[in-house]
Amino acid sequence: MQVIAEAIGHDYGPLPVLENVDLAVREGEVLAIIGPSGCGKSTLLSILGGLLQPSRGRVLLKGQPQADCLNPLTFVFQDFALLPWRSVAGNVELVLEHHRLGSAERRRRVADALARTGLSDFAAALPKQLSGGMRQRVGIARALAVRPAVLLLDEPLSALDAQTRELLLEDFESLWVRERTTAIYVTHNLSEALRLADRVAVFSRRPGRLKELVEIPLPRGQRSGAQAQVELAALHDRLWGLIRAEAQSAVTELEHG
């Protein structure tokens, strides 16, 4: 399924947050959204995912989700949002409970989502028995259980320490090498974007405008060799060049209220 933003603008009361955003997320791609703090990335994600009505413009969905999809646009949040009294499997099952599924189909989906996120051995564990990284994996398993057409991720790794973040980055990478799930991935982190995305949408500071869409021409999963690293370093410099001035102005603005 394609998600197409047409001339999106948004204000929170008197505060203009997004201006004239045209963006088409292609079927099967991972699109990263980066930009300075407060430029409206999360707001845009909420609009694309249908949680928030934009002040201006519209979002079009093109194409049909696959037949087994229960929730076409599915969010993964950074704070995991797990129920502490439910097991890992119970937390994944939660999102299936209000759908009309037979119990065998429900169990099959839970088992499949746990297998896809490497959690099969932890099905009976409670969230408090898991590390932060494992908890976030449960959040991802829960999103996958509904077989979404588009995954929307808002800084999914930002609450994690550096090593856990690296492990989960590997998880995302291998998931998206195996499966062509369309995903929109908001991040502050250029390296995450360069590792995971097919394209990177760079936003200006608030009110956020789409400044540039940068293709990453290297296949995911083949970005660690020496030659790839050289290309990625050049792309990193280019992206950083695009957001540096914006980030600096945003910080100055914050410092001076």
Ligand X SMILES: Nc1ncnc2c1ncn2[C@@H]1O[C@H](COP(=O)(O)OP(=O)(O)OP(=O)(O)O)[C@@H](O)[C@H]1O
How many Cβ atoms are within 10 Å of 68's Cβ, its own excluded?
10
Binding range to ligand X, per CB under 6 A, among 38-46, 64-72, 124-132, 172-180: 38-46
Chosen residue from 8, 43, 141, 187 binding ligand X by CB under 6 A: 43
CA-closest candidate to residue 1, choices 65, 54, 57: 65
- Binding residue count for ligand X, defined by CB under 6 A: 13
Residue 38 interacting with ligand X (CB under 6 A): yes
Residue 8: strand, helix, or coil: strand
Q: Angle at Cα 66 formed by Cα 60 and Cα 67, nearest 5°?
A: 125
**Token output for 232:** 């990625």
By CB under 6 A, which span of 32-40, 163-171, 173-181, 237-245 interacts with ligand X? 32-40
Closest to ligand X by CB, 17 vs 138, is: 17
Binding test (CB under 6 A) with ligand X, winner from 9, 40, 54, 127: 40
Q: Tell me the angle at which helices 132-145 and 103-116 cross, rounded to the nearest 10 degrees.
A: 140
- Interatomic CA distance for residues 72 and 53, integer angstroms: 17
CA distance linking residue 34 with residue 242, whole number of Å: 10
CB 47 within 8 A of CB 5: yes
Rg (CA), the chain: 19
Give CA angle at 69 (67, 73), nearest 5°.
135
Is 41 an interacting residue with respect to ligand X (CB under 6 A)? yes
243 touches ligand X by CB under 6 A: no
Which residue's CB is nearer to ligand X, number 93 or number 155? 155
**Residue number, 176 or 203, with CB nearest to ligand X:** 203
User: Please, what is the minimum distance in Å from the beta carbon of residue 253 to ligand X?
Assistant: 10
By the rule CB under 6 A, 17 interacts with ligand X: yes
Closest approach of Cβ 173 to ligand X, in Å?
23
Q: Does 49 bind ligand X (CB under 6 A)?
A: no
Residue 205 binds ligand X, judged by CB under 6 A:
no
Strand order in the sheet with 182-186: 73-76, 150-154, 182-186, 30-34, 199-203, 210-215
Asked whether position 37 contacts ligand X by CB under 6 A, the answer is yes
CA angle 121, 124, 130 (to 5 degrees): 75
> What is the nearest approach in angstroms of ligand X to the Cβ of residue 205?
9
**Shortest distance in whole angstroms from residue 100 CB to ligand X:** 34
Closest separation in Å from C-beta 158 to ligand X: 9
Considering the complex, what minimum distance in angstroms separates the CB of residue 206 from ligand X?
Answer: 6
> Where are the strands (E) in 172-255, listed by range?
182-186, 199-203, 210-215
Binding site for ligand X (CB under 6 A): 12, 15, 17, 35, 37-43, 188, 206
